[in-house]
Amino acid sequence: MSDEFDQNKTEEATPRRLERARDEGDVVFSPDLSGGIVLLAISVALWLFSSLVLQTFTGPFFESLPHLRRMDWTVATTNVLAQWFLSHFGVMTAVVGGIAMTAAIFSTQLQSGMTMTWQPLSPKWDRLSPTNGWNRLFSPESALRGGLSVLKLASTVAVVLLILRSFTSRWRENPFTSGASLSTGVFVPMLFGLAFITFSWGLVDYAFRWWRHQQKLKMSRQEIQDEQKDDQGDPQIRARMRRIQKETAMQRKALQEVPNATMVITNPTHYAVALRYESGKMNAPVVVAKGTDAVARRIAETARKHGIPVLERKPLTRAIFALADVGDEIPAEFYRAIAELLAHVYRLKNAS
């Protein structure tokens, strides 16, 4: 009980929490309410068809009674009567059973909807603990349920006694009461009374179970935050993923610009910077691609594939990599070193 009604759990359950509880079979269901609906359905059916049932069973019996007095009673007669009785009784039982099953399915659908799960049948070893058993036995919930059981029993006995008293007074006035009067005067009203009592206490039980279910599923603020993190992802992880995606997109775009580069300088394998320069159109060489490790190797491979010179200059490559981004001109302090490399590249092109 302490876990279910933790004082820190003050927030209403989220839709995800409710859905998870439903998937686990943790739904609101009152057997008393279901039983009350079934009894009401059977009571209405018997009230509507009680005269037909009595006529079916008593009519043929009283019609054949004069003939039975004049004939010899044999085993064959007993078999015929037994078959007739069992066949009619079976039909009536099947009809009542069908009504009861339909009402039970309706009451289940009305309370908790269609839920199919095997998790409630899985063993819960904590219920075998004697300590937990004693705690449940002497909990406020058990005391409340015990009190409700006593009230249900008392109200049921009161209804039965009132119906019997009413019928007894009428029977004293008219002792020659027929079977139909006995049915409509005692059995059907008593069944209606029991159904009403069961249904009424079922509503109370359902309301209590619904309240307990809502209290048990309440969440703390930390649980709601954790659930939001699970749904949306950790903010730091999301930021890192966005950064990686951005870097990947930039690297892909940069690799597409490598064929337009004038030269590539490397570290030789850990860093690579692709530079582009057009004399008379640019003030200084521009970084069109850069990368480390695998990206650096791909830049160098792409450059060699397209016949672009790849030059190894370790300090210069790391310095430009650190100080210039893609699309930036190289810093002024590197003009002289890059100019010498460009002159070397132009000589190589002229010589070829």
Q: What does the pLDDT profile of the chain (352 residues) look like in tens digits?
A: 444 455 667 777 777 777 777 777 778 888 888 888 898 888 888 777 766 666 665 555 555 555 555 556 667 767 766 776 777 677 777 887 888 888 888 888 888 766 655 555 555 555 555 555 555 565 666 777 777 788 888 888 888 788 777 767 666 665 545 444 555 567 778 888 888 888 888 888 888 888 888 888 888 777 777 777 766 656 677 777 787 787 777 777 778 889 989 999 998 888 999 999 988 888 899 999 988 888 898 899 999 999 999 999 999 999 999 999 888 999 999 999 999 999 989 888 887 6
Identify any residues that bridge with 111 across adjacent strands, giving them in sequence order: none
What residues contact residue 135 under an 8 Å CB cut-off, 6+ apart? Answer: 1
Task: Tell me which fold the domain 255-351 belongs to.
Answer: name from scop (3.40.1690)
Residue 94, helix vs strand vs coil: helix
Q: What is the pTM of this model?
A: 0.48
Identify any residues that bridge with 290 across adjacent strands, giving them in sequence order: 273
* CA–CA gap between residue 43 and residue 51 (Å, rounded): 13
Domains in the chain: boundaries? 27-114+134-216, 255-351
What residues contact residue 56 under an 8 Å CB cut-off, 6+ apart? Answer: 88, 92
* CA–CA gap between residue 273 and residue 325 (Å, rounded): 10
What residues contact residue 95 under an 8 Å CB cut-off, 6+ apart? Answer: 45
- CB neighbours of residue 189 within 10 Å: 19
- In one-letter notation, the amino acid at residue 93 is T
